[in-house]
Chains A and B, each alone.
Chain A
Amino acid sequence: MTITNATRGLGSLNRRSFLKAGGASALAASLLPGLMTGTAKAAYSGTLDMLAWDFQPDTIKSLVGEWTAAGNPAVNVAVIPNLGYTPALQTRLRGGDKIDLYYNFAYNSQKFVNEGWAKTLNGLPGVDEMIADMFESARGRHVNAAGDIISAPYFSAVHMLHYNEKFLADAGLAVPTTLKEIYDASKSLQSTVASPYVAYWVKEFCEEYLHTYLLNEQITAFDDAGQPVFADDPKTVGVFEWWQTMYQEGLAPKSLLTDDPGKLSNEMAQGNAAFYVLHHYFLTSIRSLEGPQSANVKSAAAGPSTLQIGEVLQMGQSDSDDERLATWELMKYYGWKDTDGKFKVFNQWAKAAGLAAPYAGFFTDPEVIASFPDYYDLAMLSDTFASKSNVVPARTLPWYPDFQAKVGDIVHALLLGQATPAKTVEDLTAAAKGAQGGRTL
């Protein structure tokens, strides 16, 4: 089967306009059952190759095995460690390794398309409906400015404030929402906990916090064209002052620059910290540790707006249209719904670790609701996805990985007192412009 514009269906409309239109979801809902069932079987008879990072590899193989057992092609699943996944993936693709479907970080996705390592999903049957089914807030991660669909979701999450409800109640404090309130609450709690605030501030992750904290103060870092507009916002320096003060005054432990998130979950579980900002699903890890304070930890929206992250599935180069279609069937199953219209794969990830999907229907599906432990406030989580989070579309631009790699050094210099907040703004702006400009160290 040759994929042409004639087979693109909804894609042949002005896709960008269509996807932005509110009526798209309703249209998708009416078309969905037929689309899901009508594309269940692929004509491809070969084996598909899939590459994933090392999160519950047995579950991955089991999920994919079920897809194959339903009459679909066999899938050869390879799993490699999370640490160094991007370098390993890039090296394999650069070396000509053919991978039909692979996990990827969202910030790599446009770069991979530009380099010819990933194909756009434009025109594949049901792809526009998949996008329309998403929260509008999530679409910018999967659809680029030109309207090309560059990826499907693997999982999604929002940055949340995990807090110790008992510590706050004992101190007579309300759940903080602004950065200033977090500072004040942390100061008040220092008599209970030496360093009340923890976050995953290692070099590689500072970039997520950059957006989380800026969004918390309703500052958008980049416009849709990728211009670093945060530099023009007078509130930005205040965010960096807050960040530096939290570290310099010891409200956040000095070891945060190299601590891993598992250790930080344990700090919350043991009662050695009162606040922990990271992805919503870390509530699962804190609770499952069953420490003396685990049961007192709850989650709240991290401010009026927060960062919505999501890792993605991308389609590699295929030898034939049949293979491409078969890969797409697997992508739909893995990144959207199965042929029965169920969030089978996402539901499994929800059960396993509290991971979410960027679809409104995910949060109202009774099976999904049953999969989340009671301590999750799914209505609040869904609301955060829907209207209180931002994917920062610039994070998928092709130059972004270069910028992302530089943020850690700059933020660490700020935290260590080696740079002022104003200098940090300058350095981050220069890093963004340098990344857009081409070769820089």
Chain B
Amino acid sequence: MAGATDLLGPKADRAFGLKLVAPAMIILIVLLALPTLLTVVYSLHDVPASGSSFGPFVGIENFTIIFSSPVFWRSAQVTLTFAIGFVVLSTVIGLAMAMLLNQRFIGRGLARALLIIPWATPWLVIGILWKWFADGSVGGLNAVLMMLGLTSDYHPFLSDPNTALPITVLAAVWRQASFAGILLLAGLQTLPEELNEAAQLDGANWWQRFSNITLPWLRPVLITVTVFNVIYAFLQFDVVFAMTQGGPGDTTQVLSVLIYRQLFVNTNIGLGSALAVILGVVALIGGLTIVRLFYRREMH
């Protein structure tokens, strides 16, 4: 047994632990780290479309081309607008749905089950569904607005530069809000009822209970939800591609669509990779900012 004890010593533990995580590590390295590294290397080269080599090293020339292009800045503006709308609406609507579904009412189980449906639907399918829903001739959205008396005529939402981006945001929010709602509902279910009851007995109104008990309780979940929302917002591609392919004009051309076009249509691998690096950094900064902001507030 002495030998066995030696084997289970600290060094052996580490070796055994490494063996256990090795498969996962290899998968992560091959599928995540290497492609990331390759993208960074590509971004510094004028890569031939054929993929036969890295091509000539061009330093930061791809980034210079990107930053001096009005196409990039317009796309960055569209991406930021999309991201703000997506993050705010997904989080707020998700929270509202979670609070509603945390109440007791007949059919709550069914409503909770329905909440999962958008989240379980692939992004691309959501895009196709919403493309038809927002259609200017036969779309359900127009029908609903007409029934409610909010419009007197069918409106081509996706061809109108003023409404195309908001509609793509709404389509993406429809799915992401359900994801946020599910996580926040899980957080709400851990909130002891006594806290709210005691506050109610002390005369706290709904807003006071929400802002002083519910929100602080949900903060850890909210951080996770918001970080996810920020990352999904910047990396969103499927919904926009299925609904508008970046149009009309460049109205909905988010950076991910621009990257797709450069990498896979024009086969400007170097330029597309540089765009991907920029977007990756932006998403990372966005996510980290949210984490720092929330944690700092929590610490204070």
Contacts and interface: CB of A to CB of B under 8 A. Distances in A.
B217 interface: no
A413 B249 contact: yes
B270 A439 contact: yes
Contact of A255 (B158, B246, B265, B266): B158
B247 interface: yes
B125 interface: no
B52 A116 contact: yes
A255 B271 contact: no
B244 A441 contact: no
Given A257-B159, A258-B158, A441-B66, A409 B261 contact: no
B258 A115 contact: no
Contact of B247 (A95, A401, A412, A418): A412
B249 A90 contact: no
Interface stretch (B23-31, B42-50, B93-101, B112-120): B42-50
Contacts of A202: 245, 247
Contacts of B52: 116
Nearest to B156: A255
Interface centre among A95, A255, A441 (most CB of B within 10 A): A441
B247 A257 contact: yes
B248 A441 contact: no
Interface string A240-281: 000000000000011111110001000100001000000000
A136 B18 CA distance: 69
B65 interface: yes
Chain A contact patch, size range: 35 or more
Contacts of A203: 245-249
Contacts of A408: 247, 249
Nearest to B267: A90
B262 to A, nearest CB: 7
Contacts of A272: 137
Contacts of A415: 248
Given A94-B51, A441-B66, A258 B264 contact: no
A111 interface: yes
A253 B161 contact: no
Contacts of B161: 416, 418
Given A254-B160, A405-B261, A117 B266 contact: no
Given A441-B72, A441-B271, A90 B264 contact: yes
B159 A256 contact: yes
Contact of A87 (B249, B264, B268): B264
Interface in A292-345: none
Interface residues of B, number: 43
Interface in A386-433: 401-402, 405, 408-409, 412-413, 415-416, 418
B188 to A, nearest CB: 39
B260 interface: yes
Contacts of B264: 84, 86-87, 90-91
Interface string A198-236: 000011100000000000000000000000000000000
Contacts of B65: 439-441
Interface in B18-76: 46, 48-52, 62, 65-66, 69, 71-72
Contacts of A409: 246-247, 249-250, 253
A255 B247 contact: no
A258 B266 contact: no
A240 to B, nearest CB: 15
Contacts of B135: 255, 263
Contact of B265 (A86, A413, A416, A418): A86
Interface in B105-142: 131, 135-138
Interface in B214-261: 243-250, 253, 258, 260-261
Interface in A69-109: 84, 86-87, 90-91, 94-96
Contact of B248 (A96, A401, A412, A440): A412
B168 to A, nearest CB: 11
B271 to A, nearest CB: 5
B255 to A, nearest CB: 11
Interface centre among B159, B164, B245, B271 (most CB of A within 10 A): B159
20 contacts: A86-B265, A111-B49, A116-B52, A117-B50, A203-B245, A203-B246, A253-B156, A257-B159, A257-B247, A401-B265, A401-B266, A405-B261, A405-B266, A408-B249, A412-B249, A416-B248, A416-B249, A439-B46, A439-B62, A441-B72
Given A255-B158, A257-B247, A401-B266, 16 more contacts: A94-B50, A253-B137, A255-B135, A255-B136, A256-B159, A257-B248, A263-B137, A402-B266, A405-B265, A412-B250, A413-B250, A439-B46, A441-B66, A441-B71, A441-B262, A441-B271
Interface of B: 46, 48-52, 62, 65-66, 69, 71-72, 131, 135-138, 156, 158-161, 164, 243-250, 253, 258, 260-262, 264-268, 270-271
